[in-house]
């Protein structure tokens, strides 16, 4: 991959990767750091065959591992232990309308649930692909995703009703 | 919570992924989604996340890819340099160890004979003033010392060959 090809790939993949990292970590500064490190590791490593689709999946795997490493570091809370309100997304996208519905709902989800929901519904990855990215089993993902989807659908409906009442 | 699936889930997921929902779907699927809680959840969640993803694409600030590219090049170069210089460092350490060992053995063997060779420095006598005595009977085996020195030189040359080969690759 030469410099121009990378620039094109970066322009296409960076917004999605950043959104994923912001949504899961709930910290836009951390998301920016992890995004940069993800691209650096992506460029330094031997990349998989199969073109951009596989490149993108590989990039998400690097980012997911970096998130996991971050949570494993001493003094950093584990992905399952971080208080939910602490993880409310606080990036610079607050003015967007969908955020008014999605942000409060996401703030009440566990980070692992956010991760799976985003990969499945925002990125459109299959259970097998999510399994490759996260290292979880495909059967476990199916069950976790089913529960997470029911939970967030209930929260989204509440938010939509609240927004309608306000309007 | 009971885990259940719906027979329409796969078809609906594909339609949502391809952006065919709802206009590109049949009336049967649309009617089904109206009363199936599982499928209506899927539609609501997928559409919300897809919108959030689209908005993120428009709003996310992106850094410079060329800066990242050059940072990666620098990191790769540093890693390569470190990888190449590792055998040289090991060979240098080994060579220093051999040199010190030979020096200590030599001084030790000469010390046991009263350091007669020290007069060599003051009188500038020819090198034959050294006591070249066999190692086996408490005296130095020069063949052994030459062998160790040879190993040291060989290690240095090996490191040089590894360095040149790695640099070419």
List chain A residues with CB under 8 Å of B75.
Answer: 40, 44
Closest approach of A68 to chain B, Cα-based (Å): 22
Residue numbers of chain A with a pLDDT score lower than 70: 73-97, 167
Q: What Cα–Cα distance (Å) separates residue B78 from each residue in A17, A25, B75, B82, B164? A: 27, 31, 5, 6, 17
Predicted local distance difference test score (pLDDT) of residue B28: 86
Concatenated DSSP letters of chain A: --HHHHHHHHHHHHHHHHHHHHHHHS-HHHHHHHHHHHHHHHHHSPPPSSHHHHHHHHHHHHHHHHHHHHHHSTTS--TTTS-GGGGS--STTTTSHHHHHHHHHHHTS-HHHHHHHIIIIIS---HHHHHHHH---HHHHHHHHHHHHHHHHHHHHHHHHHHHHH-
| Per-residue tokens: A29 | 């500064």
CA-nearest of A106, A111, A113 to A140 is A113
Question: If chain B, 169 residues long, is cut into consecutive pieces of 10 residues, what is the mean pLDDT of each piece?
Answer: 74 85 82 88 89 76 81 89 84 83 80 64 53 53 74 79 70
Write the ipTM: 0.71
Test mutation, A152, A153, A155, A160, chain B, max B CBs within 10 A: A153
CA-closest candidate to residue B28, choices B47, B15, B17, B41:
B15
In 10 A of CB B159, how many CB atoms?
A: 20
Give the CA diameter of chain A: 53
Q: What is the pLDDT of residue A61?
A: 92
CB–CB contact B45 A149 (8 Å): yes
Q: How do residues A133-161 score in pLDDT, each as one tens digit?
A: 888 898 889 899 999 999 999 998 888 88
DSSP label at residue B119: H
Share of chain A above pLDDT 70, in %: 84
Over residues B37-78, the pLDDT tens digits come to 888 889 889 988 888 888 777 766 667 888 888 888 999 898
Chain A: residue nearest B41 by CA?
A153
Retrieve residue A107's tokens. 């703030």
Distances (CA, A) of A63 to A21, A46, A118, B13, B63: 8, 16, 14, 26, 17
**Who among A14, A36, A96 is closest to B55 (CB)?**
A96
CB within 8 A of A109, min separation 6: which ones? A84, A117, A148, A151, A152, A155
Instruction: Work out the burial of residue A131: count CB atoms within 10 Å of its CB; fewer than 13 is exposed, 13-18 middle, 19 or more buried.
Output: middle
| pLDDT at residue A124, as a whole number | 87
Q: Cβ distance B148 to B102 under 8 Å?
A: yes
Q: Mark yes or no for CB contact A44/B52 under 8 Å.
A: no
Chain B residues near residue A10 by CB distance under 8 angstroms:
62, 65, 68
Three-state DSSP state, B6: coil
Give the per-residue pLDDT at A41. Answer: 92
Per the listing, tokens 């060599």 go with B120
Residue A152 to residue B45, Cβ atoms within 8 A: yes
């Amino acid at each position: 991959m030469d410099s121009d090809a990378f620039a094109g790939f970066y322009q296409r993949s960076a917004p999605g990767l950043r959104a994923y990292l912001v949504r899961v970590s709930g910290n836009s500064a951390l998301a920016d750091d992890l995004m940069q490190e993800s691209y650096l590791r992506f460029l330094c490593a031997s990349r998989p065959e199969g073109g951009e689709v596989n490149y993108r999946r590989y990039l998400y795997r690097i980012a997911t591992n970096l998130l996991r490493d971050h949570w494993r570091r001493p003094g950093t809370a584990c992905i399952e232990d971080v208080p939910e309100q602490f993880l409310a997304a606080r990036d610079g996208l607050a003015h967007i309308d969908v955020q008014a519905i999605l942000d409060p709902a996401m703030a009440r989800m566990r980070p692992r649930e956010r991760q799976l929901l985003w990969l499945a519904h925002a990125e459109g990855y299959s259970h097998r692909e999510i399994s490759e990215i996260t290292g979880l089993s495909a059967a476990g993902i199916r069950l976790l995703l089913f529960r997470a989807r029911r939970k967030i659908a209930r929260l989204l409906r509440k938010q939509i009703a609240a927004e309608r009442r306000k309007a | 919570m009971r885990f259940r699936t719906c027979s329409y889930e796969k078809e609906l997921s594909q339609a949502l992924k391809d952006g065919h929902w709802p206009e590109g779907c049949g009336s049967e699927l649309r009617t089904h989604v109206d009363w199936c809680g599982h499928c209506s959840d899927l539609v609501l969640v997928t559409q919300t996340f897809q919108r959030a993803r689209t908005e993120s694409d428009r709003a996310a600030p992106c850094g410079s890819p060329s800066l990242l590219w050059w940072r990666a090049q620098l990191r790769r170069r540093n890693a390569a340099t470190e990888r190449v210089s590792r055998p040289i460092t090991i060979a240098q350490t080994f060579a220093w160890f051999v040199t010190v060992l030979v020096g200590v053995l030599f001084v030790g063997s000469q010390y046991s004979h009263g350091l007669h060779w020290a007069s060599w420095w003051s009188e500038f006598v020819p090198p034959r003033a050294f006591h070249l005595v066999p190692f086996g009977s408490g005296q130095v085996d020069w063949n052994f010392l030459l062998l160790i020195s040879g190993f040291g030189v060989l290690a240095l040359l090996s490191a040089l060959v590894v360095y040149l080969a790695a640099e070419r690759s």
